[in-house]
Amino acid sequence: MTAAGENVGPAPAISDPTGRARVAFLLPLALAQFICSFAGSNMNVMINDISDDLDTTVQGVQLAITLFLLIMAILMIPGSKLTERWGRKRCFIGGLAIYGVGAVLSAVSPGLGVLILGNSVLEGVGTALLIPPVYILTTLAFTNTASRARAFGVISGLGGIGAAAGPLIGGLITTAISWRAAFVFQALVVGAIILLSRRMVDPVPADPNRPFDVVGAILSGVGLFFLVAGILWADSNLVVTVVAMAIGVAFIIGFFLYVRSLERAGKEPLLSRALFRNRTSNLGLVTQNIQWLVLMGVSFVVAVYLQTVRGYNAIETGVIFTAATLGVLLTSFGAERFARRRTQKTLIMAGFVATVAGIVLLIAFAGVTNRIVACVPGLFLVGAGLGIMLTPSVNVVQSSFPDELQGEISGLSRSISNLGSSLGTAIAGTILVSNFASGNHPYVIALVALAGVGLIGLAAAALLRPGAERGGVPVTAGAEAP
């Protein structure tokens, strides 16, 4: 092994670790997903504190949050390809190190620019490197269908908890110490993950000669950036929005044309078109995107509304979000039991029904009462819905492809999910911050938009073919059943 801990020769694959070995293997991976999800939502309750301290605005903080999520989405696919070239463990540890530096820089930032560099750029790049190995290593290590589902349940569950508990933990730290201490917390957790990962073994050796599609990475990255940027500019200049989104669409089309030309020439592109020929996986990716779009959109909208309209502080806002955390906890830890009784399609549909019902409750109580408990039922249902459908959505996508395609599909899956997160913050946030003077109206409009997107997710889940599932795992033509 090298000094970095990478295998330089063939190594036996880990075979369904159990007991302490299973805990030791999953703990750093699950914690990594937890802290990255936490980072995507904890800043929502710090909006007023950061704005006052750094002399910026709500829009400035929204920009930092959205850029963090967008950079993750842009670089997730290239990051997944680099795991094959550099090795999964090396990318995981390297990503954690970059993330940790970004967290420390964010903690000491004197202004919004440095915060964006630390939080949005460095943490975003670090996350894009470390997250694909989480799902690739899990897929390679757990070959049994049931054990793989349990492993994904643990990782996805902690991811959902991180996103839902981010406002509570962030609010507690911000109120007790400072918003800067929340980034110190992230750095400490990252340091602990690195220590826990020291004995991790990469079951497949790195391939330094594996080609990397730089042009494809640029085309896809620029396209996604302009699509989300166009949404962020929607409240200020409609012409700029249209132009930006048109540029984004043009680059995405150019990316797929370039991929086709590479494949016809017998070369390896950044992303194989074969990944989009699997109907079950495509629908699963749609549900993943919408799950995170709705979660992050609701989290941002409710947090901004409570702080800017209702006047709640960070801890009060965080406490309200405990309801969502409890919802995720109660359902995600029952994922294995649910999977034995219901198909993945049923679970995903049930999750969207609960989530949309939660948003409806949030809208219903908006103009009825100012009491702090008004948001609790709605947030609980949103969290419960997320916990129900996170694991089956991930398992549907990952299990639709054989092991040799796990690197690509893992990167695509995480990119689609993080694109949903950035779109959620951009779309809902843009609607909300456009006119705070209107009282409840921007809040209600934003939530109505999110409920509409949730219904689209429900429709996508309904289109999943029950006949394409066997034992909770999709079986499609050309894909091996795990």
CA 69-71-77 angle, 5° bins? 105
User: What span, in angstroms and rounded, lies between the C-alpha atoms of 114 and 117?
Assistant: 5
Question: Residues 6 or more apart from 153 whose CB is under 8 A from it?
Answer: 332, 335, 336, 339, 391
Question: Contact, 102 vs 68, CB < 8 A?
Answer: no
For residues 430 and 434, give the distance between their C-alpha atoms in angstroms, rounded to a whole number.
6
Which candidate, 427, 442, 408, 478, places its Cα nearest to that of 77?
Answer: 408
Tens of pLDDT along the chain (482 residues) come to: 333 333 333 333 445 666 677 788 889 999 999 998 888 778 888 888 999 999 998 888 888 988 888 898 888 888 888 888 898 899 999 999 999 999 999 999 999 999 999 999 999 999 999 988 988 888 788 877 677 777 877 887 788 788 777 888 888 899 899 999 999 999 999 999 999 998 888 878 888 888 889 999 999 999 988 988 888 777 667 788 899 999 999 999 999 999 999 999 989 898 888 888 888 889 999 999 999 899 889 988 888 888 877 788 888 888 888 888 888 878 877 766 777 788 888 999 999 999 999 999 998 887 666 666 778 899 999 999 988 888 888 888 877 887 677 667 877 887 888 888 888 888 887 787 665 545 557 888 889 999 999 999 999 999 987 444 433 333 333 222 22
Neighbours of 452 (CB within 10 A): 11
DSSP, collapsed to helix, strand or coil, labels residue 435 as: coil
- Report d(CA 58, CA 229) in Å as an integer: 17
Q: List C-alpha distances in Å: 106 to 43, 102, 111.
A: 12, 6, 9
Q: What is the pLDDT of residue 370?
A: 64
| Number of neighbours of residue 27 by Cβ within 10 angstroms | 16
CA 480 to chain centre: 26
Do 402 and 278 contact (CB within 8 A), yes or no?
no
DSSP letter at 474?
Answer: E
Cβ atoms < 10 Å from Cβ of 331: 25
User: In terms of pTM, does the model score above 0.75?
Assistant: yes
Would you call 203 helix, strand, or coil by DSSP?
coil
Torsional class of 471: left (φ above 0), alpha (ψ -120 to 50), beta (otherwise): left
- Counting every residue, how long is the chain? 482
How high is the pLDDT of residue 22? 78
Nearest to 60 by CA among 141, 23, 114: 114
- What pLDDT does 439 receive? 52
* CA-based end-to-end distance of the chain: 29
Buried b or exposed e, range 379-408, using 16+ CB within 10 angstroms: bbbbbbbbbbbbbbbbbbbbbbbeeebbbb
Listed residue (121, 91, 360, 122) closest to 204, CA to CA: 91
Residues 84 and 359: their CA atoms lie apart, in Å, by: 41
- Look-up: residue for tokens 């993750």? 72
